[in-house]
């Protein structure tokens, strides 16, 4: 399949200069280019905030894959954002062990106090997206909350105002 990706006038490729060098070091870790797909998508998301169709096409190009293949992989994993998210992307575990320790109340407090209102929605000021996720692997520290890359332990509704203030 040949594809010519129309990036549009204003599109700034992610994989250029220093980022391209970073990609080269990633590629050295694997015997195939395809195997670099997950780390490459991580780099793209770090640089661009989310994985757009254009980014998928660019990733496909640099790794010699098709855009459709890349999309198939992106959609399998929950951590690649297929839409823009708020400045603070907040993941709250609500699986059974955390549920019995009060995760629901933490979720409720976060939704109310950030103005995000609905799980998955972004607050009007663009600052917050709060999502419910399955087990974060820290069940003894209920309720674990991941704010961007910061892993917070033992969050209770009482601690929510402090968190909202810190990341606002």
Partner 1 sequence: MGYPHKPHPKETVVLSQHFGDVEARTHKGWVKRGGYEALAQALKLEPAAVTDVVKESGLRGRGGAGFPTGLKWSFMPKEKKRPHYLCVNADESEPGTFKDREIMRWTPHALLEGTAIAAHAIRAEVAYIYIRGEFTEPWTIIERALAEANAAGVFGTIKVYLHRGAGAYICGEETALMNSIEGKRGNPRIKPPFPAAAGLFGMPTTINNVETLAAVPHILTRGAAWYKGLCLSNPKSTGTKLFSVCGNVQRPGNYEVTMGFPLKDLLYDMCGGPPAGRTLKACIPGGSSVPILTREETEACLLDYEGVVEKGSMLGSGGVIVFDDSADMVYQIMRLARFYAHESCAQCTQCREGTAWTTKIMERILAGQGKTKDLDLLLDLSENMTGKTICVLSDSCAAPVVSGIKKFRGEFEAYLAGKRPVPVMVS
Examine residue 68 and tell whether it contacts ligand FES (CB under 6 A). no
Examine residue 138 and tell whether it contacts ligand FES (CB under 6 A). yes
The whole-angstrom separation of Cα 86 and Cα 106 is 19
Q: Which residue has the tokens 């905030």?
A: 49
Q: Judge contact between 112 and 118, C-beta under 8 A.
A: no
Sheet of 128-133, strands arranged across = 128-133, 88-93, 145-147, 150-152
Least Å from the CB of residue 124 to partner 1? 27
| Interacting residue with ligand FES among 41, 51, 107, 136 (CB under 6 A) | 136
Q: Which does 59 bind (CB under 5 to 8 A by kind): ligand FES, partner 1, none?
A: none
Least Å from the CB of residue 96 to ligand FES? 6
- Site stretch for ligand FES (CB under 6 A), options 42-50, 108-116, 117-125, 130-138: 130-138
Examine residue 65 and tell whether it contacts ligand FES (CB under 6 A). no
State phi, psi for 42 to the nearest 5 degrees.
-60, -40
Pairing of strands 145-147, 150-152: antiparallel
| Interacting residue with ligand FES among 13, 49, 97, 115 (CB under 6 A) | 97
Least Å from the CB of residue 111 to ligand FES? 18
Listed residue (118, 111, 117, 107) closest to 142, CA to CA = 107
Q: Using CB under 6 A as the criterion, which residues of the chain lie in contact with ligand FES when the complex forms? A: 93, 95, 97-98, 135-139, 144
């Amino acid at each position: 399949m040949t594809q010519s990706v129309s990036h549009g006038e204003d599109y700034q490729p992610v994989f250029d200069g220093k980022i391209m060098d970073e990609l080269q070091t990633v590629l050295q870790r694997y015997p195939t280019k395809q195997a670099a797909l997950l780390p490459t998508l991580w780099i793209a998301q770090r640089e661009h905030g989310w994985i757009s169709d254009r980014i998928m096409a660019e990733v496909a190009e640099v790794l010699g894959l098709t855009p459709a293949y890349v999309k198939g992989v992106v959609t399998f994993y929950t951590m690649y954002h297929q839409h823009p998210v708020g400045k603070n992307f907040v993941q709250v575990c609500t699986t059974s062990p955390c549920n019995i320790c009060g995760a629901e109340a933490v979720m409720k407090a976060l939704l109310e106090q950030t103005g995000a209102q609905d799980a998955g929605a972004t607050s009007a000021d663009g600052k917050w997206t709060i999502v419910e996720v399955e087990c974060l692997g820290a069940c003894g520290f209920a309720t674990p909350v991941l704010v961007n890359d910061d892993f917070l332990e033992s969050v209770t509704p009482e601690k929510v105002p402090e968190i909202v203030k810190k990341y606002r």
